[in-house]
């Protein structure tokens, strides 16, 4: 077991990741656009020892729910009612302007006092106006993350002077144009929001193919991998090898990627009960549950055993994808997590005030401050 460096993330989507969840939970499905649906769930996860929570976002309808709330705005609404847990919304960067992403995530970091992150999502089917048909979506995503970092750095840490006597709010010499020019867009900068408390909120990428692994190695702090999923060679050693190879190819220096495995799950009192629940969900969906992640159908202790084996094999953490936000999150928090804590496999540390702290990442200095004479 890898001890205090092993990180626990909870992935939230709709009323659960199973395509039949909304049909079985119509009252919950009608409430997902309200912060009151999410706040008790996230606060329970925080109390149970989850390090960070992610929200999905999409330009498609979400599994039978009543619309798709904006993930960044939802995270910002929950920041004041949480204290320690990391808040990591998904942003579809192929359809969103980088300047607006940088501003929104910086604001989330300020509102949460340094607990923001962002998961970068590439959607080849939904492209914004900057694509002319020849632009590669992963190359574009790499440019987006580069611009996010530059914009977050464009205010030096001491740029705000708030001098009442002279009426000066900022030291203009400590604000910087980023002057980025890429194939798909250009950004002048600086950002109109002061530098985030973390300097740069952590960037998360889900990787399946080589382009996604390259994006993670070049641009991310955390990579989500899918050991046990349908992709050939994606057992834990295979996923770790792909991360290492991509990091070498990218010439990555500094902190290595934090590698979290993805597991989707249906839990029950017994293994048979879990399979009965899975059958009811599939009947409601009208089709089997297909996932890019490992699918676990069983008991909470069996899920703890799986996570323990992944930790022993070298992963830095796990992101849990519950089939439903009712029974499955409850069993995860009440039954699986105490077992993992007893084995010394959680990184729960409320005194680590920022998400970067929790992930063991140093706070970066503004690149423009470093370049200053």
What is the bridge-based pairing of β-strands 168-170 and 160-163? antiparallel
| pLDDT tens column, 333-347 | 999 999 999 987 665
In sequence order, the β-bridge partners of residue 187 are 180
| pLDDT tens column, 215-247 | 999 999 999 999 988 887 779 999 999 999 999
DSSP-assigned letters across all residues of 6-72: -EEEEEE-BTBSSTTHHHH-HHHHTTTTSHHHHHHHHHHHHHHT--EEEE---SS--TTSS----HH
pLDDT cut 70: percent of the chain above it: 92
Instruction: Measure the CA–CA gap between 356 and 232, rounded to whole angstroms.
Output: 32
Classified as helix, coil or strand, 188 is coil
Please give the residue that has the higher pLDDT: either 170 or 197.
197
| pLDDT tens column, 254-273 | 899 999 999 999 999 999 99
> What domains appear along the chain, each with residue ranges and CATH number?
3-371 (3.20.20.30)
Copy the structure tokens of residue 313. Answer: 């094999």
In sequence order, the β-bridge partners of residue 265 are 296, 322
DSSP-assigned letters across all residues of 213-228: HHHHHHH-SEEEE-TT
Sign of the torsion formed by the C-alpha atoms of 214, 220, 224 and 227: positive
pLDDT cut 90: percent of the chain above it: 73
Confidence at residue 66, expressed as pLDDT on a 0 to 100 scale: 58
Confidence at residue 1, expressed as pLDDT on a 0 to 100 scale: 34
The pTM assigned to this predicted structure is 0.93
Q: Which residues of 18-46 are buried (b: 16+ CB within 10 A; e: fewer)?
A: bbbbbbbbeebbeebeeeebbeebbeebb
């Amino acid at each position: 077991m890898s001890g205090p460096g092993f990180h626990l993330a909870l992935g939230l989507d709709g009323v659960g990741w199973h395509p039949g969840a909304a049909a079985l939970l119509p009252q919950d499905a009608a409430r997902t656009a309200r912060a009151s649906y999410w706040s008790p769930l996230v606060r329970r996860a925080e109390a149970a020892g989850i390090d960070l929570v992610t929200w999905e976002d999409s330009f498609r309808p979400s599994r039978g729910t009543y619309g798709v709330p904006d993930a960044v705005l939802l995270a910002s609404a929950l920041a004041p009612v949480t204290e320690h847990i990391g808040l990591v919304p998904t942003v579809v960067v192929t359809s969103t302007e980088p300047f607006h992403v940088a501003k929104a995530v910086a604001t989330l970091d300020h509102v949460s006092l340094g607990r923001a992150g962002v998961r970068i999502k590439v959607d080849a089917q939904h492209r914004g106006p900057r694509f002319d048909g020849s632009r590669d979506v992963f190359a574009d995503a790499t440019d987006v993350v580069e611009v996010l970092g530059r914009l977050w750095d464009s205010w030096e840490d001491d740029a705000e002077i708030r001098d009442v006597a002279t009426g000066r709010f900022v030291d203009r010499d400590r604000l910087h144009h980023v002057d980025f020019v890429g194939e798909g867009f250009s950004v002048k900068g600086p950002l109109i929001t002061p530098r985030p408390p973390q300097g740069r909120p952590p960037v998360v990428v889900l990787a399946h193919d080589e382009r996604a692994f390259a994006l993670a190695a070049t641009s991310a702090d955390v990579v989500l991998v899918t050991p046990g999923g349908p992709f050939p060679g994606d057992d834990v050693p295979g996923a770790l090898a792909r991360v290492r190879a991509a990091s070498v190819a990218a010439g990555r220096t500094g902190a290595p990627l934090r590698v979290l495995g993805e597991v989707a799950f249906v839990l029950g009192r017994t293994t048979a009960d879990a399979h009965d629940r899975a059958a009811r969900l599939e009947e409601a969906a009208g089709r089997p549950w297909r996932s890019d992640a490992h699918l676990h159908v069983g008991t909470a202790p069996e899920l703890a055993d799986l996570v323990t084996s992944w930790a022993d094999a070298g992963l830095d953490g796990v992101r849990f994808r519950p089939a439903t936000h009712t029974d499955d999150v409850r069993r995860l928090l009440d039954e699986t997590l105490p077992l993992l804590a007893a084995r010394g496999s959680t990184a729960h540390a409320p005194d680590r005030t920022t998400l970067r702290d929790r992930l063991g990442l140093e706070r970066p200095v503004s690149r423009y401050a470093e370049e200053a004479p």
